[in-house]
Structure 1
Amino acid sequence: MFVVLLTYTAPIEEIDYVLPDHADWLTKQYEHGNFLASGRRNPRIGGVIITKPMARGKLDAILATDPFSVKHMASYEVIEFSPTRTAPELRAINEAVVH
């Protein structure tokens, strides 16, 4: 699984202009079953995405299609982790859980 930290590199006014396209992109990623959660960072300097388990190359390809990435408006820090404990609701999707 991955946690992706987005940090805006463009002024917030430009971010707000592209935000609807980013929201549409997020919707598509949820529909494809790639993401578990996403939202704004506080303070509003970027966002956070929690992914389902996948290959790092697949995630990199997905992130490259984010309108913020395409327009060079955000940087991405990708943190890979292997959950050893999860809430019962996540066990069905977490291939890394040790029982």
Structure 2
Amino acid sequence: MYIVLLEYIKPLDEVDYALPEHVDWLNKQYEAGRFLVSGRQVPRVGGVIIARAMPRGKLDALLATDPFAIRKLARYQVVEFEATRTAPELATVNEAVPA
């Protein structure tokens, strides 16, 4: 699994302008089963995405299609981890996304 930390590198008004496209992109990733959780950091300096297990190259390619990346609005830090314990309602989160 991955924790993806987004750090905004442009002013919030530029980020807000691209936000509808970013939300559409997120929705597609949820529909495909790739993302589990996402949201804004507090304070609003970026965002956080929890992604299912997949090859790292696939995740990197996916992140490159984010409108925030395309418009160079955010920097991405990816932390890979192996979930060894989850709450019962999250029992399937460690399953990989089909290639």
Hey, what does 1:72 align to over in structure 2? 72
Question: Which amino acid in 2 is paired with 1:14?
Answer: E
Encode CA deviations 1:69-93: one digit per residue, 9 max, x unaligned.
0011100000001111111122223
Q: Deviations over 1:45-70 (max 9, x none)?
A: 00000011111111001100000000
Could you list the runs of 5+ residues in structure 2 that have no partner in the other structure?
none
**Corresponding residue for 2:54?**
54
Structure-2 residue corresponding to 1:94: 94
In structure 1, stretches of 5+ residues that fail to align are none
Percent sequence identity over aligned pairs: 62
Instruction: After superposing the two structures, state which structure 1 stretch, 84-93 or 25-34, moved more.
Output: 84-93
TM-score by length of structure 2 reads: 0.93
Length, aligned pairs only? 96
| In 1, Cα distance between equivalents of 2:94 and 2:75 | 27
SS of corresponding position for 1:86:
coil
The runs of 4+ residues in structure 1 deviating greater than 3 Å are none
